[in-house]
Amino acid sequence: MTTAVGMLQNNGLSSPQRQVTADVSNGLKAGEKISGAGYSKDVKKRSEDRVHTGKVTNAPELPHVEVNQQPLTLLIRNLTVFSIKELIQLLKISVHANQDPSAKKTAFLQLVVYLRNQFLKLYVLVKWCRTLRNNNFNTMIDLLNWFRGSNMAVNNCIWALKASLAGMTNAKLPNPDLITALEVLSLGRPNLQTHNFTLSGEERAENGQKTSAVPSKLILKTLRDMNIILSVKISLMEIPDQFKQYSVCDGRLYISVENEFEVQLSTTHQRMPLFFVDLKLLFNELLPLNKYKLEKVINEVLYKSPRPLFALYKILHNYVLSVQMYMIHAELLDLESNSKYAGGNLVHHYDSRKTTINLKYWSNSRLKGKCNATIGIEEQTGCIVLRWYIEEVAGSQSEIPVRYTNVLSNLGNILDEIMFNHSQMIKAELLSTGVLQEDDEISDALLFNVPSTPASVIPIQIKINVISGVFYVRNPSGLLTFYINQINKTSTTDDFIKVLNRLKLDKIISILRNMFEKVGWACNNVVKLNAPVSKDPSWAQKKILFRDLFVRLENWPANWYLIFSVISSNATCIIEKRIGKIAAAKGSWELKYLDNENVLTLKLESMTYQKILHLKKTSLHKIVDHMIIDSLNGLRMRNRICSSKQLGAVPEYIVPGDQTHHSSILSIELESFIGGSSALKYILEETMFLRIDYHDSKIKLFGKFRKNCKAIGKQYNETLMHFIDEDALSFYMSESFTDLNNIVQHFNTFKQKLMQIVTLTDVIEKLHDFYSENFSIVALKPNEISFKYLKNSKDDYDCRILIQTNDDSVKKLEIKLSPRNPQHIFQPFIDSNRLDYHFVFNYLQFTSGFFGVLESILTTSESQVKSTNGYTTVSLQLHNLSVYGLIYYNPETSTKITLMIELRNVFLNGSKKLRYFVHFADDEHISTKSPAYPLVHKVRNTVFMVDSTSLITGDTISGLASPKRAKAASLIRLADGICCDAADIELVIREVNDILKIDCV
Tell me the pLDDT band of 999, cut-offs 50, 70 and 90.
low
pLDDT at 25: 33
Nearest to 816 by CA among 773, 776, 787: 787
CB proximity list for 591: less than 8 A, separation 6 or greater: 529, 533, 580, 581, 582
68, 861, 897 from 894: Cα distances, Å: 129, 17, 10
Quick one: pLDDT at residue 320? 92
Of 145-149, 373-377, 399-403, the one with minimum mean pLDDT is: 399-403
* Beta carbons within 10 angstroms of residue 347's beta carbon: 16
> With left for phi above 0 and alpha for psi between -120 and 50, is residue 469 left, alpha or beta?
left
Predicted local confidence at residue 960, as pLDDT = 41
Helix/strand/coil percentages in the chain, nearest 5? 40, 25, 35
pLDDT tens digits along 523-548: 988 888 888 887 776 666 667 888 88
Tell me what the mean pLDDT of segment 694-705 comes to. 80
390 vs 170: CA distance, rounded Å: 57
Instruction: Give the per-residue pLDDT at 173.
Output: 62
Between residues 541 and 35, which one has the greater pLDDT? 541
- The per-residue DSSP string of 782-823 comes to TTEEEEE-STT--SS-SEEEEEEE-SSSEEEEEEEE-TT-GG
- Cα-to-chain-centroid distance, residue 679: 51
Q: Is the pLDDT of residue 1000 over 60?
A: no
Half-sphere CA count of 662, side-chain side, radius 13 A: 10
The amino acid that residue 944 corresponds to is F
Q: What pLDDT was estimated at residue 970?
A: 79
Q: Which of 524, 518, 515, 681 lies closest to 602, judged by CA?
A: 515
Q: Give whole-number Cα distances, 440 to 435, 446, 850, in Å.
A: 16, 9, 113
d(CA 808, CA 214): 137
* pLDDT score, position 863: 61
Q: Which of 468, 501, 470, 498 is nearest to 484 (CA)?
A: 470
Pairing of strands 977-980, 911-920: antiparallel
* pLDDT tens-digit map of 309-355: 999 999 999 999 999 999 999 999 999 888 888 888 899 999 988 88
- Mean per-residue pLDDT for 603-622? 85
Rounded distance, CA 671 to CA 681, Å?
7
Phi and psi at residue 100, in whole multiples of 5°? -70, 140
Average pLDDT (212-216) is 68
What's the pLDDT score for residue 871? 57
pLDDT of residue 708: 64
pLDDT at 124 over 70: yes
- Give dist(CA 391, CA 242) in Å, integer: 37
More confident: 250 or 750: 250
Residue 403, pLDDT > 80, answer: yes
- The answer to whether 140 and 133 are in contact (CB under 8 A) is no
Instruction: Report DSSP letters for 248-297, one per residue.
Output: EETTEEEEEETTTEEEEEE-SSTTSPPEEEEEEETT-TTS---HHHHHHH
Domain range summary for the chain, segments of one domain joined by +: 72-153, 217-321, 499-619, 770-845, 870-996
Other CB atoms within a 10 A radius of the CB of residue 932 amount to 21
- Is pLDDT above 90 for 41? no
- Global confidence as pTM: 0.52
Tell me the residue ranges of DSSP E strands in 652-791. Answer: 663-669, 687-693, 698-704, 722-723, 730-736, 776-781, 784-788
Alpha-carbon gap, residue 142 to 140, rounded angstroms: 5
Q: How many helices (H) and strands (E) does the chain have?
A: 22, 37
